[in-house]
Amino acid sequence: MTAPDVQEAPRAEAGPGPLPPAPRSQAALVALLALGVFAGTLLNGFVYDDQQLVLENPWIRSLAGMREPFRQSLFGFLESSTAQDARSHYYRPLMHVFLFVLRQAAGPTAWVHHLALMLGHAAVSVGVLWLLRTCLVRGRPAAQGAAGDWAALGGALLFALHPVHTEAVAWVSGAMDVGMTLLLLVAARLWLPVPATAGRALLASGVWLAALLVKETAFVLPVLLWSLERVVASAEARGGWGPWLRRQALLGVGGAVYLGLRLSALEGALPGTPPVDGVSRVGGVLAFTADLGGKLAWPAPLAVLSPGGPVHSLLEPRVWLGGLLLLSALVLSARAWRRGPAAAGMGWVWLGAPMVPAFVLQARGVDAYAERYLYLPSVGFALLVTVALRSALSRFPERARPLALVSGGVLAVFAALTLAYVPAWRDDLSLWTWVQARVVDQPLIHLKLGDLHLGAGRLDAAIPELELAARGLPGDFRVHNNLAVAYAKSGRMGDARRALERTARLMPDNPVAWHNLGLVSRREGDWDTAIARFRDALRLAPDRVDSLLELGRTLLRAGRAGEAIAPLEEALRLRPDLVAARKALAEARAAASPPPR
């Protein structure tokens, strides 16, 4: 289980089969294919969370706004981002910095954002090639290095072309996974050769801090570096516990700074646990292994959501398959660390460690299925495939040609699947139509389709979809809020009020629900209730201009013009260009003035 220090091996000059390309040629090939297979994303627009994170995000519109991402959660700019919203616990300020740079450079232009992700994925793919070569080629005799060279190229191409990466690369919001993985690979490069000097350890610490500020999953870096050290360095080079702890202490500076920033912004809050029974928890974890983890080896169907939906029984085949896969992974990982090769043990660590947060979420009853979660773990998967391919080439050199044909065929199939999946991310309608055709019926699909119809003014199509979503997601405030809006627009005020009352119970800290209740009460002619609801909204968000405006308007209509002046003046102070507030204020002042004698 030891290995020599990292050093570049001479290119193989002996053994059957052609010589592998030079490292730079390999890197160029990997980068070009990574760009080529995702080139279709340049035709895509913004989908899913991109609408909020890219188009509606006020923070990325000015340099002054860049202070806010470090003070609040990822979606802190939304009025719905309250303690009850699970997304309020994401702390990823550098995602906003990334979007700010693109916004200032090219405005809200979709293809520029997609180009940035394509380039990021190409850089990660080249980084994966470096990692595979470091583990399997450098420091090896020339004869062994040739097999490792070809295997490393195959593994890097597998990563570059893998269709499971489409969600991370074709979706602008997936930049968090791509950016985090790129930064972790940079930190790994800085860590070598072992032992890392104090200067390199501190540089790696800074890069780790940046990765954490992109996505929290980066906390696994110390474990990843531990496994890397055991592959590329001898026990003598690694030193004992003392030198290792000193290196980790220097690395930990970045982690400590991150914790300080996160605690200052979010006060250490964690998302609550939804009420889920034991069968759903255990079955969900096991099925999760098969549904998501299995996509690395068999990437179909790919469709954003779990193809099988929630688990209803421990007797479902995917529960047993997931249990078998999980047990096999644990056994093979333990065997690799005990008997070697060390690179296989490292592959299992890089595959499994980044999946721990997703497994924890799933065990707590949260649906953690997301194909982008496999972006970093697939580095470990590529390493495992590379180890297996090198072993086959070394043991059966006379079968190099059939192995090359099989490998090329797999890569071609994976590239074709990626090319087919990329257009599904063209727009929201394409995406959710694709999803609906490939997975079992799930409430989230109806929510997204209902939102699309609502936004397009197709109320007759929106209401049935949102009603189905509300029955399947009784605890999701967004469903009931959007359903209430659809009811109100169609004139069903009673239904709208009941849906909004449920929304307010689910999200009592959300001013939107109280504001909308005020609008519905006013349309029903209940002035006092409408005024009370607008004041409830302002109690939660005193600077909410819409609520100030509607409170003033409602007071004016209720014959309380004198009371209407103060909220309308405040709305105009916050938004001097708000014509509706200026007009209503003039009417209120005129109505409140005593008649001339």
> Taking a C-beta distance cutoff of 8 angstroms, is the pair 243, 229 a contact?
no
Tokens of 19: 């010589």
Distance CA(311)–CA(319), nearest Å, equals 8
CA dist 292 and 369 (Å) reads 6
Nearest to 178 by CA among 228, 223, 123, 221: 123
Q: Using the predicted structure, report yes or no on whether residue 270 has a pLDDT greater than 70.
A: no
pLDDT, tens digit (0-9, with 9 covering 90-100), for 386-421: 999 999 988 888 888 899 999 999 999 999 999 999
Closest C-alpha among 481, 494, 475 to residue 454: 481
Q: Which two tokens stand for residue 55?
A: 């188009």
Number of continuous H segments (helices) and E segments (strands) in the chain:
27, 0
CB 536 within 8 A of CB 512: no
Q: What angle do CA 367, 324, 156 make, to 5 degrees?
A: 75
- pTM, 2 dp: 0.87
Confidence of residue 7 (pLDDT cuts 50, 70, 90): very low
Cβ contact 465:446 at 8 Å: yes
Between 88 and 285, where is the model more confident?
285
Asked if residue 285 lies in contact with residue 276, where contact means CB atoms within 8 angstroms, the answer is: no
Lowest mean pLDDT: which of 87-91, 138-142, 255-259, 339-343? 138-142
Q: How far apart are CA 344 and CA 350, in angstroms?
A: 10
pLDDT in tens, 472-493: 888 888 899 899 999 999 989 9
Of 211, 205, 203, 185, the closest CA to residue 98 belongs to 211
Q: What are 435-445's pLDDT values in tens digits?
A: 999 999 999 99
One DSSP character per residue, 18-76 reads PPPPPHHHHHHHHHHHHHHHTGGGGG----TTHIIIIIS-GGGGSSGGGGGGGTS-TTT
* Mean pLDDT, rounded, for 84-95: 76
How far is 563 from 561, CA to CA, in rounded Å? 5
Task: Write the pLDDT tens digit of every residue in 223-249.
Answer: 999 999 999 998 888 888 888 899 999
The total number of residues shown for the chain amounts to 597
pLDDT at 89 over 70: yes
DSSP letter for 295, please.
G
The SS3 call for residue 527 is helix
How many whole angstroms separate alpha carbon 180 and alpha carbon 512?
33
Q: Which uninterrupted H or E stretch holds 58?
A: none
Q: Which tokens sit at 296?
A: 């690395």
Q: For residue 425, what are the CA distances in angstroms to 34, 149, 222, 296, 301?
A: 17, 35, 34, 20, 15
Q: Which helix (H) or strand (E) holds 273?
A: none
Contact (CB, 8 A) for 366 and 274: yes
Contact 406, 432 (CB under 8 A): no
